C-alpha cells in the first residue's frame, strides 16, 4: 500500500467525496487565508510587553500543535491558531487596561483553558451556550470585531487621541498613515474579489509599496533560527494576591469568548462541510475537545489562547472535507517558523487592513438578530459601545449582560431569561462595584 492510499484510508478522503489533491489544495488555501495571524498576533503580544521574536515563535508553535491535533485526532477540516478577539482581550484589556503583567495574564489563560476543557468534556459547554440569548452572543462577537478594527486604526495612527474629542483623524499628510489607508483599501478589494490570499495579499502589497516608498526597511536575512517561546512564563505570574475581583472576571471573560468563538466556528464550518448526523446536528465532539484543550496549553507555551479559525471555510469551499487540511496547514506553519525575518517588514500600516476586515467579518453575527426586539438591540449597542469606549472586552460583556437582564425585566419578560444569565449579571455587577472600589 503506497503513502497516498494510507492517507486516504486514515482520513477517509474518498469516502467523504474528496481527493488527495483537493485536500492538499484546501490546506494551502487555508494557510494563505489565515497566515496573517502570525504577524498580527506577534505585534499585539509585543504591545503587551512580550518579546516580539518570542511571540512570533509562540504563535507559530501553537498553530502547529493545534492544527496537528485537530487534523490527526479529531480529523476535522479546521485549522487552529491564536484567535483574533481573545488576543485583543489578552493584550489590550488584561495587560494595558487592567494593569496585569503579561505573565499574570497567561495565568488567567491557563485557568480559563482548564475550566473551558472541563465544561466541554462534561457536556456542560453546549448546555451553557444554549442558555445564552442569540442577541448577547451576537453582541459579544460583533463588539469584539469593532474593538479589533478600532485598535488597528489606532496602531496605524489613522485614528489618534485628542484632548477635546477623545479621538480624531490622524495626520493624512504622513506617508505611514496614508500607507495604512492604502492597506485597508487594497485588502478590502482583494477580499471582496474573493481572492484566496485576500488578507495576506493586502499585507504583502502594502509592504512592497512601503519598501518602495522608503517607509519600511528590508530585513538583513531571510532564514534564521527561531527564537525560544516564553514556555512556563506563566509561573512567574503566580502570586498570593493575584486572585482579585478583576482577575476572576478576566478568567470568566476569557472563558466566555472561548465559548462563543470556537463553538461558532466549528459549527459553521461543520455545516459547510456537510458533517452532520441524521438529525442535522454537526458531529464534532472530538473537535470541541481539541478546541478546549489547546486553550490551556497556549498559556503554558506563553501565547494567547488558540482556537478554531473561521478562515478554514476557504478550504471547505475548495472541496476539502477531512483533517488532512489541518495537517497541511500545520506543515506550512512549520516552514514559516524558520523565515521569521521576512515577517518583520509587516508594520502596523501593513496589518491594519487585516484587523479592519476581520472586525467586519465578525459583524456577520448580527445578521440573525431581531432588530425589532428592544432588549436585544439595547444589549448589542451597550456591548459594542462599552468595549470600544472603555477599551475593555470584559467591561463590554459585563454591561451587556446586565443591560439584557434589566431591559427584559422592564419589558415584563423576566421569565424568558435563564437563571444562569441572572446569576452572571449578579456576578458582573459585583465585579463592576469591586472595580469602582478598587478591590
Q: Over its length of 439 residues, how does the chain's per-residue pLDDT go in tens digits?
A: 578 888 888 888 888 888 998 899 888 888 877 888 898 899 899 999 999 999 999 999 999 999 999 999 988 888 999 987 788 889 988 998 888 999 999 999 999 889 888 888 887 766 776 677 888 888 888 887 888 888 889 888 999 988 888 889 888 999 999 999 999 999 999 988 877 667 778 888 999 999 999 988 888 888 888 899 999 999 998 876 677 878 888 888 888 777 766 766 776 666 666 665 544 455 567 887 888 888 889 999 999 999 888 778 777 777 888 889 999 999 999 999 998 888 878 888 888 888 888 888 878 878 878 899 999 999 999 999 998 888 877 788 889 999 999 999 999 999 998 888 898 888 888 878 876 765 5
Interval 379-432: pLDDT, tens: 999 999 998 888 877 788 889 999 999 999 999 999 998 888 898 888 888 878
Say if residues 377 and 404 touch (Cβ distance below 8 Å): no
| Eight-state DSSP code of residue 363 | G
Q: How many CA atoms lie within 13 A of 349 on its CB side?
A: 21
Q: Where are the beta strands (DSSP E) in 335-427?
A: none
Distance of CA 273 to the CA centre of its chain: 21
Q: CA angle 252-256-257, nearest 5°?
A: 125
Coil, helix or strand for 160?
Answer: strand
| CA-based nearest residue to 210, from 99, 349, 372 | 349
167 pairs with which residues across the strands?
Answer: 161
- Element housing 306 (H / E): strand 306-308
| CA-based nearest residue to 95, from 111, 106, 80 | 106
Alpha carbon distance 157, 288 (integer Å): 38
pLDDT of residue 209: 94
What percentage of residues in the chain have a pLDDT greater than 90? Answer: 32
| CA-based nearest residue to 257, from 305, 299, 325 | 305
Residue with cell 486516504: 8
Amino acid at each position: 500500500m503506497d503513502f497516498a492510499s494510507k492517507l486516504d484510508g486514515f482520513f477517509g478522503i474518498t469516502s467523504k467525496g474528496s481527493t488527495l489533491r483537493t485536500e492538499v489544495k484546501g490546506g494551502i488555501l487555508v494557510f494563505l487565508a489565515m497566515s496573517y495571524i502570525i504577524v498580527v498576533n506577534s505585534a499585539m503580544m509585543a504591545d503587551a510587553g512580550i518579546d516580539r521574536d518570542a511571540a512570533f515563535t509562540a504563535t507559530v508553535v501553537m498553530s502547529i500543535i493545534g492544527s496537528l491535533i485537530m487534523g490527526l485526532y479529531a480529523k476535522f477540516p479546521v485549522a487552529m491558531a491564536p484567535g483574533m478577539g481573545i488576543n485583543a482581550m489578552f493584550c489590550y484589556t488584561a495587560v494595558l487596561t487592567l494593569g496585569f503583567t503579561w505573565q499574570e495574564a497567561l495565568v488567567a489563560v491557563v485557568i480559563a483553558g482548564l475550566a473551558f476543557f472541563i465544561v466541554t468534556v462534561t457536556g456542560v459547554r453546549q448546555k451553557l451556550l444554549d442558555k445564552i440569548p442569540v442577541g448577547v452572543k451576537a453582541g459579544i462577537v460583533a463588539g469584539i470585531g469593532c474593538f479589533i478594527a478600532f485598535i488597528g486604526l489606532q496602531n496605524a495612527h489613522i485614528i489618534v487621541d485628542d484632548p477635546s474629542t477623545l479621538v480624531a483623524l490622524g495626520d493624512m499628510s504622513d506617508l505611514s498613515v496614508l500607507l495604512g489607508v492604502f492597506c485597508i483599501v487594497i485588502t478590502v478589494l482583494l477580499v471582496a474579489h474573493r481572492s484566496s490570499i485576500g488578507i495576506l495579499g493586502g499585507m504583502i502589497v502594502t509592504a512592497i509599496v512601503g519598501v518602495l516608498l522608503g517607509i519600511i526597511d528590508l530585513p538583513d536575512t531571510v532564514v534564521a533560527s527561531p527564537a525560544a517561546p516564553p514556555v512556563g512564563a506563566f509561573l512567574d505570574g503566580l502570586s498570593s494576591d493575584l486572585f482579585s475581583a478583576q482577575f476572576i472576571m478576566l478568567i470568566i471573560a476569557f472563558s466566555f469568548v472561548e465559548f462563543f468563538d470556537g463553538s461558532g466556528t466549528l459549527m459553521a464550518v461543520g455545516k459547510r462541510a456537510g458533517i452532520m448526523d441524521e438529525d442535522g446536528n454537526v458531529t464534532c465532539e472530538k473537535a470541541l475537545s481539541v478546541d478546549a484543550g489547546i486553550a490551556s496549553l497556549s498559556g503554558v507555551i506563553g501565547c494567547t489562547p488558540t482556537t478554531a479559525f473561521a478562515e478554514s471555510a476557504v478550504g471547505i469551499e475548495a472541496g476539502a472535507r477531512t483533517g488532512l487540511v489541518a495537517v497541511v496547514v500545520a506543515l506550512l506553519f512549520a516552514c514559516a517558523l524558520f523565515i521569521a525575518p521576512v515577517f518583520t517588514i509587516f508594520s502596523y500600516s501593513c496589518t491594519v487592513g487585516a484587523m479592519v476586515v476581520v472586525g467586519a467579518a465578525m459583524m456577520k453575527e448580527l445578521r440573525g438578530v431581531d432588530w425589532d426586539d428592544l432588549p436585544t438591540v439595547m444589549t448589542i449597542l451597550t456591548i459594542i459601545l462599552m468595549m470600544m469606549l472603555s477599551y475593555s472586552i470584559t467591561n463590554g460583556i459585563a454591561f451587556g449582560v446586565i443591560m439584557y437582564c434589566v431591559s427584559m425585566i422592564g419589558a415584563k419578560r423576566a421569565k424568558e431569561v435563564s437563571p444562569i444569565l441572572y446569576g452572571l449579571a449578579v456576578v458582573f455587577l459585583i465585579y463592576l462595584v469591586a472595580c469602582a472600589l478598587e478591590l
